[in-house]
Amino acid sequence: MAEALRRGVSRLETTTKLTLAILALASGVYTYLGVRGLLQGIGPVVFFGALIYSTAVSIGIYAFWSYLIQFVPHVKHGTEKRTMLIAMVLGSLMIVAMSSWLNAAALAGGAAIEQHLANTTEEYQSRLSEAHNNALAAQGLLPDIELASERFRRLAQEERATGSLTGTSGSGTVVQLLNQMSGQLEGLAAEVRAARVESDALFEQGGSYLGDMRRIVSAAGPIEPRAIAYAEEAVSLAGVIAALSETSIAPAVKRAAEDLSAAFVAPEVDGGTADLASRQTTIVSRVESAIEVQSNALASAADAILARDEVVPVRFVPLSTPEAVLLYAEDFLPSWAGAISIDLLPAVLILILAGVHSAIRREEGAEMDAHHVTVHEMNQALKLYNAMQPPQPVQASPPASDPEPDAEQERDKERDIDQPGVTPLPTAMPTIKRDR
């Protein structure tokens, strides 16, 4: 198994290097597309700036993963393993910071800007409706104003025809006062009706701008020119919302209601007799009280409308593709996952290689260590073996004459000595007995 794993690692070495290079190149391309949306300036400056940055990122990613894939699988000890893993985590975070979010911008930047435009459109619609509702709230005072005006007008007619208030018919002081109050209230009602016409026209105009903005968002084509056209429509719509907020008639109603009571001046009675003059004075006092009640009611209703929160027009903020991807990251999680995976996929290859090398070391075990015995370790083993042998008794023997060396052996010895860099080995090696 260990030999098969070694052969597999050897066969996949070229594939691994090619994979790292392709992933680094892909990350560099998408980084270029992403960073180009951030840079400002003329065309060549943006092009070369994005190209240099993406090239540096691509080379850095390839070098980082090449270092790790070369060394991490061969590290065996715990401390060194932790150090390498910490380096891999830090490097991965740096890669995400300098590349992955730009990759996500290249993958989903246009869609993120469309999402931003769509959300802004909904906010504009909400503000337009709120401003229109505030304007219509003041229109709710119109029935009360018209009712009060009609009541004063009817009383004036009845007083003129039958003298229902003073008991004497004719156009006297009371009729004059009632007609005056009816005229003032009718003028206020006319202002309210005119304000409604203006607010309806502004609301219709704002709806037209909203329709154009929605068509721009849903249109096909590059996002940059559409974003520019959208910004122009947004500015126009913001002006409509501000104008609609100013058309509220509530402040005018409040001022008119206060003036209705504060500016009331009782006319001089013109009755021919003391009794008629007394009755006119009484009716004028009653009319004054009725006017004061009506004035307070209108002022209170106007205050309730004015107490509403003021509508603040939306300010459209254009975003670049990277900014939009960051702002709406939760809506584009698949794009983020793909962008990060391109950069961090080599980490999976490193973990696979680390597991394979660990299995190789576990399978080979002691055999692997025996294949790596040094000469020094062999000499130490031989010395230890010789020291463990029992001493042999020395036997006296008659000296024997040395046999003449064989001619062929002498020639071989001379040949070995003449060869440079070759150390002759002893003819006999001690035998090692292995205890069972």
pLDDT digits (tens, 9 = 90+) for 224-262: 889 999 999 999 998 898 888 887 777 777 777 777 665
Which range, of 2-16, 68-82, 196-210, 411-425, averages the lowest pLDDT?
411-425
What's residue 267's pLDDT? 52
What mean pLDDT, rounded, does the chain reach?
A: 79
Residue that has been written with the tokens 């995400």 in this structure: 96
Of 127, 188, 134, nearest to 305 by C-alpha is 134
DSSP-derived secondary structure for 146-188:
HHHHHHHHHHHHHHHHH-TTTS--SS-HHHHHHHHHHHHHHHH
Asked if pLDDT for residue 397 goes beyond 70, the answer is: no
What's residue 40's pLDDT? 77
- Average pLDDT score over residue span 365-387: 70
Helix, strand or coil, per DSSP, at residue 282? helix
Helix, strand or coil, per DSSP, at residue 433? coil
Q: Give 144: exposed, middle or buried? Use CB within 10 Å, 0-12, 13-18, 19+.
A: middle
Structural domains present in the chain: 2-110+330-367 (no CATH), 112-320 (1.20.1260)
Rounded CA gap, 110 and 320, in Å?
Answer: 9
Rounded CA gap, 172 and 338, in Å?
Answer: 89
Cα–Cα separations (whole angstroms), residue 198 to 126, 201, 242, 403: 20, 5, 13, 136
Q: 332 with 325: CB under 8 angstroms?
A: yes
Q: Give 180: exposed, middle or buried? Use CB within 10 Å, 0-12, 13-18, 19+.
A: middle
pLDDT tens track for 307-344: 777 777 788 888 888 889 999 988 888 889 999 999 99
Dihedral angle of Cα 179, 184, 187, 191, to the nearest 10 degrees = -160
What's residue 31's pLDDT? 92
